[in-house]
Amino acid sequence: MAEKSVSEPRILAFCCRYCAYAAADLAGAMRLRYAPSIRIVEVPCSGRVEVGEMLHAFERGVDGLMVAG
């Protein structure tokens, strides 16, 4: 992740392809505004996300993490 200003949080979101990722797509299509802090990773299902992977994200320095499905 590119280093930006220190104050801007970096949040990783694991999004289910069929629910939250599609919702994010729709949000884009609807031109909704939301914080630029989010980095979306598409997963086939939110059940795919492992605790170990979430911990790795924190190890690498993310400030927050969302699992959305």
CB of 34 to another protein, least distance (A): 4
Binding-site ranges for another protein (CB under 8 A): 6-7, 9, 11, 13, 18-20, 22-24, 26-27, 29-30, 32-35, 37-38, 46, 50-52, 54-56, 58-59, 61-69
CB of 40 to another protein, least distance (A): 9
Cβ neighbours for 51, distance < 8 A, ≥ 6 positions apart: none
Integer Cα distance of 22 and 20 in angstroms: 5
Residues found in the chain: 69
Integer Cα distance of 3 and 22 in angstroms: 28
CB of 44 to another protein, least distance (A): 14
